[in-house]
Amino acid sequence: MQRLAPALREDNVPLDLISLIKTVLAATKEISFRVSQAHLGGLMGSTLDENIQGEIQKKLDVVANELFKDILLESGFVKAISSEEEDSSVPGDENGKFIVSFDPLDGSSNIDINSLIGTIFSIHEAPKGMAADDPDMFKQAGNKQVCAGYVLYGPSTMLVMTTGKGTHFYVLDRTHGGYLLVERNVRIPEDTQEFAINMSNQRFWHPAMKNYIDDLILGDTGPRGKNFNMRWIAAMVGDVHRVLCRGGIFTYPADSKNPNKPYKLRLMYEANPMSFLVEQAGGLSVTSEGRIMDIEPTSIHQRVEVILGSKNEVETCLSYYKK
């Protein structure tokens, strides 16, 4: 099995980006270890603080964020970082060539039940002529990402990453401490019979989404003429990973539960990196109005509707919005 750096060189990834990716992965190895030891180290449960999103921070969220932030900012490769757990962007090295957005621990509600969680990251080039403390550096569309990925802290610690030359799977090999390539150029099947959505929000959805899901549930007795199964891990990393492995549609649609917060998932460090991975694997990733990676961001923590996965199924879902 191929090690990470040679696999990246095969894709002609520039050396400075390879160095940054190695730095990102050094952080994930330590987070992976801390996650596995959380109960023993007194890291279960919540802090008394809220993040900028108004969500209570888990102790492990804070530890993962500090680890990731410190390792990246000390590396010299990074001009600034932005994180789900930081109010604003944090400046790094003025000469750093890249900026990194990340969700240090996605799926935090799974921490205390020893279920799937992961780290999501997105890398852009730092725009020239802007100061390291200028948060406007992060106002770049997802289509400008040079690398995106996530690390899933599951039964095995898995890295899923793209630099724009396909989406590849790697597994952390604890015998030598590095990630090994296990699957190159993952492809998402175009058709599926599996969907992922939080059904408890059903009464708050747009009628188009409601009609679409109703038809999936009708199965072979309805217009789709086939049965669908449902899965919901409640961690985007886990649900997207399943879609990459065997297809499916995953959506967190707009809802009217809280009129001030129509969307749940964050553009910069959830939707954009996942969109890059999904598109590089032949899937689609959109809102009901267009491609996610073409959205011009207006703020670091902005939220967005997400519909992603198997190409034909995502197109079928969108057709309900046009009816």
* Residues in contact with ligand F6P by the rule CB under 6 A: 106-107, 198, 234-236, 239, 264-265
Stretch that binds Mn ion, among 95-103, 133-141, 240-248, 314-322 (CB under 5 A): 95-103
170 vs 1: CA distance, rounded Å = 10
Query: Which residue's entry shows tokens 């406007």?
Result: 136
SS3 call for 107:
coil
54 vs 262: CA distance, rounded Å = 15
End-to-end CA distance of the chain: 49
85 binds Mn ion (CB under 5 A): no
Q: What radius of gyration, in Å, describes the C-alpha atoms of the chain?
A: 19
103 binds Mn ion (CB under 5 A): yes
Would you say 185 or 202 has its CB closer to ligand F6P?
202
Would you say 264 or 311 has its CB closer to ligand F6P?
264
Residue list 193-232, contact with Mn ion (CB under 5 A): none
The one of Mn ion, ligand F6P, none whose footprint includes residue 85, by CB under 5 to 8 A per kind, is none
Supply the minimum distance, in Å, between the C-beta of residue 27 and Mn ion.
16
Query: Which residue's entry shows tokens 């890295």?
Result: 159
The one of ligand F6P, Mn ion, none whose footprint includes residue 248, by CB under 5 to 8 A per kind, is none
Beta strand pairing call for 229-230 and 194-196 = parallel
Beta bridge partners of 95: none
Would you say 20 or 159 has its CB closer to ligand F6P?
159
HSE of 111 in the Cβ direction (CA atoms, 13 Å)?
Answer: 28
The one of ligand F6P, Mn ion, none whose footprint includes residue 295, by CB under 5 to 8 A per kind, is none
Supply the minimum distance, in Å, between the C-beta of residue 198 and ligand F6P.
4
Would you say 106 or 313 has its CB closer to Mn ion?
106
61 binds Mn ion (CB under 5 A): no
317 vs 215: CA distance, rounded Å = 10
Supply the minimum distance, in Å, between the C-beta of residue 233 and Mn ion.
12
7 vs 184: CA distance, rounded Å = 9
The one of Mn ion, ligand F6P, none whose footprint includes residue 198, by CB under 5 to 8 A per kind, is ligand F6P
User: CA-based angle 155:101:52, to the nearest 5?
Assistant: 95
Supply the minimum distance, in Å, between the C-beta of residue 287 and ligand F6P.
15
106 binds Mn ion (CB under 5 A): yes
Cβ distance 138 to 101 under 8 Å?
yes
The one of Mn ion, ligand F6P, none whose footprint includes residue 313, by CB under 5 to 8 A per kind, is none
295 vs 85: CA distance, rounded Å = 22
Supply the minimum distance, in Å, between the C-beta of residue 240 and Mn ion.
11
Would you say 265 or 307 has its CB closer to ligand F6P?
265
Would you say 194 or 239 has its CB closer to ligand F6P?
239
Cβ distance 137 to 143 under 8 Å?
no
Would you say 216 or 278 has its CB closer to Mn ion?
278
Supply the minimum distance, in Å, between the C-beta of residue 89 and ligand F6P.
19
Supply the minimum distance, in Å, between the C-beta of residue 265 and ligand F6P.
6
Residues with Cβ within 8 Å of residue 231, at least 6 apart in sequence = 194, 195, 196, 239, 242, 248
Residues with Cβ within 8 Å of residue 199, at least 6 apart in sequence = 213, 230, 232
Q: Which residues bind Mn ion (CB under 5 A)?
A: 103, 106
